[in-house]
Amino acid sequence: MKSIFHINIIRTPLIALLVIIGTGFMARAQDSRIQLTSLDHLAAKANQTVDVAIDERLIRIAAKVFSDEKTDEKEIKQLLTGLKGIYVKSFEFENDGQYSPADVEVIRAQLRGPGWTRLVNVTSKKEGSVEVYLLMNGEQIGGLAVLAAEDRELTVVNIVGPVDLEKLAKLEGKFGVPDLEIETPKTKKNDDK
């Protein structure tokens, strides 16, 4: 009886400790970004490669040079608040079929992990596919991943941290980038006001 009693006494704190450590690791795992290194070999085949890897420290440094007075920059600065990383890999090819479905599947497999939810999946034979994934930490957005696979282009965007999708979507068309004009007439009316 005594030994069983002692085993229970040891077991309880051990379980508690494991739960604490496990929770910490889980919280960290939820934070983790997508590994994009598997796409690195495509750079040799690509016409144009974009590789952006900005961690939390660099985001903070960059946030310092965003103006608080210019509306556009202020909005971006607000968007950056709380972000832990922005990672982009984009490849543009001269010909079709330069990347294999397996390359895309490696990324997709990571996005099937716990916490990730597929928000949008649009597939068309002509224009390829666009998938938008969200990492949910409870009710909050903990991260975003966009996987766009076209015939001659493969783009993966991974934003780690709480991201405001509405603000992010509004960024297009600012800073000299052409707007795709997908806004609804209502918002245009509001802007006019």
Which residue ranges make up the site for other proteins (CB under 8 A)?
Answer: 6, 9-10, 12-14, 16-17, 20-21, 24, 50, 52, 54, 56-62, 64-69, 76, 79-80, 86-88, 90, 120, 122, 124, 127, 130-132, 144, 146, 148, 155, 157, 159, 165, 168-172, 174-175, 177, 180, 182
Name which of 20 and 109 has its Cβ closer to other proteins: 20
Calpha distance 150→77 (Å, rounded)? 31
Closest approach, Cβ 52 to other proteins, in A, equals 4
DSSP 100: -
Closest approach, Cβ 136 to other proteins, in A, equals 17
DSSP β-bridge partners for residue 48: 92
Name which of 59 and 135 has its Cβ closer to other proteins: 59
The tokens for 136 are: 């949910």
Are 43 and 91 within 8 A, CB to CB? yes
Name which of 44 and 180 has its Cβ closer to other proteins: 180
- At 73, the amino acid letter reads E
Name which of 109 and 169 has its Cβ closer to other proteins: 169
- At 50, the amino acid letter reads V
What contacts 59, CB < 8 A, 6 or more positions away? Answer: 80, 83, 84, 85, 86
